[in-house]
Structure 1
Amino acid sequence: MTKTGRADILRAAPLLAALTLLATGCGAQRAGQDAGDAGPSRAAAATPGAPVDFRCPGESAAPTPAPSAASSTPATPPTDHYAENHGFLVPLRLHGQSRCDGLTAAGRIERALEPLRERGEFSPQSTRAALTRLGYADGDVEASQSGPTGVSFLVVAHPLCLEGGIDREKTRADAFGGYPDGTDCRPPSGGH
């Protein structure tokens, strides 16, 4: 008969713990049961649902759905990885009520800047003044010359970012939710 010592027990403890875990199982699924029968999986419960968009007040048509991950991924991987390497430059889209708030704010800005365009007043100072009259703080408004007859602007209005411009042809304002790397409303300078 062999005598089992303390050292032998300590060496066998990890093996015994692993066997116990395997014998008891680590999930709620039973033999013969489909994985979906026991309720939502842990991965499904932790994954947020797709963003919901709805028609905003004053919007003439239903919003265009955001492209799904399946439809935006090419069937074959790109050879140059340009889109992958520059994804940090793509602004975050707004969804739900934030999208409606963004459309409202962009519309207000376009109406405020349209008289400047009609008068041919394309200066950063007049654009900044018109935006601050809307209630945006002077420190949250940037405006710069964009060619000889155009001005581009950026307004930081947490949680919204509003950007656009005016030129001889049109007045444009768009809302977005910042950038994926967390640089707020200003485009990131580096990446990947």
Structure 2
Amino acid sequence: MHIFRSRSLAAGILLAAVLTLTACGQQRTASGPSPSPTPSALAPARGNVEPDSHDGAPHYHENNGFKVPREMTPAGEEAARKEAARIEPVLKRLRTDHAWDPNSVRAALLRLGYRTGDGLQPGTLVVSGMGERHILTQTAPVTPEGSLFALRVRKDACVHGAVKPSGSQLEVSGPFLETGCFEPRGGH
């Protein structure tokens, strides 16, 4: 009889432990079944959310730091905006002439006095094609028409953009950590 009580006691303790562990995290009310989770209950834990992160994603800034350009000095920004003002009419003319291929864009921008190079030294220009894109509706990668360009104005200042059939884009920023004056397209 003593063995029976020990087994019953052990089974009762085991059952209580299992019920306690399976109820972990659940909230019960006296009026019925537990309520459905609220949107805040589905969000990342409060300690993992960074200020100003998109959609409350944990580690957003850490994971996307390569997309943030370095800061420009006021003198660097002024110099970059001056060069952007010189480049803008050239981009409009190239687009009107349907001359958005890399060779045409490079030749037109070199006429402004820039030189080709690695884009790391001030005054150097890099021009490239748009690069392959993977589009969900296509089975093979697609290379759109157009050109990308990046001009290193100063150590801390860049002008970069694109010329393509749908329009032109021109931006001023500091250099990017991993891609110099070219705006990064994807993740690592």
TM-score, normalised on structure 2?
0.52
What is the DSSP-based 3-state SS (H/G/I as helix, E as strand, rest coil) of the residue aligned with 2:148? strand
CA deviation profile, 1:97-156 (whole Å, cap 9, x unmatched): 322222221121111222110011121011111111111112122222224432111122
Which amino acid is 1:178 matched to?
P
Structure 1 unpaired stretches of 5+: 1-71
Q: 2:171 aligns with which of 157, 171, 174?
A: 174
Identity among equivalent positions (%) equals 32
Q: Is the 8 A contact 2:80 2:153 kept in 1?
A: no
Q: Is the 8 A contact 2:148 2:161 kept in 1?
A: yes
Which amino acid is 1:145 matched to?
G
Structure 2 unpaired stretches of 5+: 1-49, 118-123, 131-142
Q: State the shift of 1:188 in Å.
A: 7.5
2:136 is matched with which residue?
none
Q: Distance in 2 between matches of 1:73 and 1:166?
A: 35
Q: Distance in 1 between matches of 2:101 and 2:162?
A: 11
Alignment length (residue pairs): 119
1:145 is matched with which residue?
129
Q: State the shift of 1:183 in Å.
A: 6.3
CA deviation profile, 1:23-80 (whole Å, cap 9, x unmatched): xxxxxxxxxxxxxxxxxxxxxxxxxxxxxxxxxxxxxxxxxxxxxxxxx9349x9453
Structure possessing the higher radius of gyration over alpha carbons: 2
Q: Distance in 1 between matches of 2:51 and 2:151?
A: 32
Q: Distance in 2 between matches of 1:188 and 1:149?
A: 19
Which amino acid is 1:91 matched to?
P
Aligned CA RMSD, in angstroms, stands at 3.2
Q: Superposition pairs for residues 101-120 of structure 1, below 5 Å?
A: 101-120=79-98
Q: State the shift of 1:163 in Å.
A: 0.8
